[in-house]
Chain A
Amino acid sequence: MRPADLPSPSAHWPERVIELCGELRNRPADGRRDAIIADVWLLVNTALCRYVRFNSRATHLDPEDVRDIASEKSLAFLKQVLDPENVFVADNPGRVCAYFSTLARNALIDRGRQLERQRNVPLDATLVHDPLPADPEARLAGAQFAQALREAVLLLNNRTRTIWFFRVLLDMSSREIARHPDIQMNATAVDMALSRARRAIRSHMKKRGFAPQEIPPGTLAMLWEAMYRNDRRGEETRKDDG
């Protein structure tokens, strides 16, 4: 069994952190440097969220607290990387992971959280494997509903689709959506776009014979993949055009 502090053997993110940090240290202050800082920030934060969640799994930390701790420590990490006198040696993925895990643990201790520090707990033990509905008919109906929903969502324009996805599947507030770099609208405009999207989706689903219901399991993954592939196709088309 793999200890929790070690990355998945084939995980790419720790190597990417090392690569970006190396680039950042040698980069003069220019636009590219700001972009690298943004990339490091996003990646380190996402990774730290994983370790904060892992180290606080016994205490059911509020997701907002997880994000706060990860942001605070990501900022400290970035400052360290940018400090020319600092000797942070992140030369292998295992060390990066162990460092992040320690950062997360110490942050939790700093906050005085009651945490159960179990070492070397295999990652797989943290997963709760809820089975899909056992009833084949229910599964089929769910899959058909999800498929129709996918069609409806893909009919929306990119921005409206993203707004709908952020709100309905990621539970983001209008204010957060409005500030997102892919959206850049005010909160009222977000609400209006959302309302239009819901009407369009309802209408499509009605035509396909589906009444409103809970979104079945698997829908988030299916829609994200559809959007992700859409983005990839868009990028490839742009590259071809270029």
Chain B
Amino acid sequence: MDEPHGILSSAHVDEDQIIDLVSGLMEPPAVRAAMGHIERCPACESLLKTALQERELLRARGVPPVTAAAPAVRRRRRGLVGSVAVAAMIMLIGVVVWQKFLPRPAGAGYWIPVNTNGMMLRSDGDESFRIFAEKTRPYREHDAEGAIRSLQGDPFAGDETLRSLSRLYLASALVNDYRGGEALPILHQLKIETLPGEWRGPAMWVQYLALRQAGDAAADAVLQAAVAEPGHVGVLAREERDRLSGRRPRG
């Protein structure tokens, strides 16, 4: 049995122990000892409240899309390789400066996280979950063309949740294939406001990208709404707003 964290009911609980507690990493005897104290100590109860608030807000906002950072630039290359790199860098700076004054095609590179684990809880059965996991595999691997092939044809007509999500991923894949115009009718049918909470923000962002690719002026209104979104979509939207207005992104 685990030591009860060395917590006697009279000892204060520190923030590390609170993190363990709210993250479910404490063993039951330690939980009992900690709670025995917290219920009688307003200061420790306040720490618990803060940690719970932070954790539940994070869960409500969902995990932002995470992709690995670009491979680090290797150092200490000399000679011709170095010269080529310097020339390429100068050209790149030129292109970046030049592109700053050109409209940029929006939309590629945004992939909604596919949390198939969380979905299992909502799916009607293991079979539909298994099919969903299989159908979304190209999307998870960021293969836009493969995802479009896999998700076209309404494969989840019998399951409203999976159907909505597969349509959303299809729309996102189309945007990643620079076919925003084709994504728009799918998003329109989807009724973004009816989607489960954690997908509404990403769906809004996909809609914005699709509208922008299609040259639709409605993109501005969607961007304005997305700016107020919490989490990663809000960050993306604010960066995009700053980019469009010619300012450097904040942060």
Contact = CB atoms under 8 A, between A and B. Distances in A.
A37 B66 contact: yes
Given A46-B58, A86-B69, A176-B57, A11 B16 contact: yes
A197 B222 CA distance: 35
A46 B23 contact: yes
Nearest to A217: B42
Interface string A11-50: 1110010000000000001111011011001110111011
B58 A41 contact: yes
Given A82-B67, A221-B35, A13 B25 contact: yes
A16 B114 contact: no
Interface string A108-123: 0000000000000001
Interface residues of A, number: 73
B141 interface: yes
Interface stretch (B152-160, B163-171, B193-201, B208-216): B193-201
Contacts of A124: 12, 14
A3 interface: no
Nearest to A127: B43
B197 to A, nearest CB: 3
Interface in B118-132: 118, 120, 122
Contact of B53 (A9, A32, A171): A171
Contacts of B26: 12
B181 interface: no
A71 interface: yes
A184 B58 CA distance: 15
A72 to B, nearest CB: 7
A84 B68 contact: yes
Interface stretch (B44-52, B76-84, B85-93, B98-106): B44-52
A209 interface: no
A132 B40 contact: yes
Given A34-B113, A79-B67, A180-B197, A166 B39 contact: no
A169 B14 contact: no
B247 interface: no
B243 interface: no
Contacts of B55: 42, 46
B5 A10 contact: yes
Interface string A141-173: 000000000000000000000000010011110
A169 B50 CA distance: 10
Contacts of B15: 50, 53-54, 123
B118 to A, nearest CB: 6
B59 A13 contact: no
Contacts of A230: none
A118 B30 CA distance: 31
A172 B59 contact: no
B6 to A, nearest CB: 6
B136 to A, nearest CB: 9
A63 B140 CA distance: 34
17 contacts: A11-B17, A31-B116, A38-B118, A41-B63, A43-B19, A45-B54, A67-B57, A71-B58, A79-B68, A83-B69, A123-B14, A127-B14, A131-B42, A172-B56, A182-B59, A218-B40, A218-B42
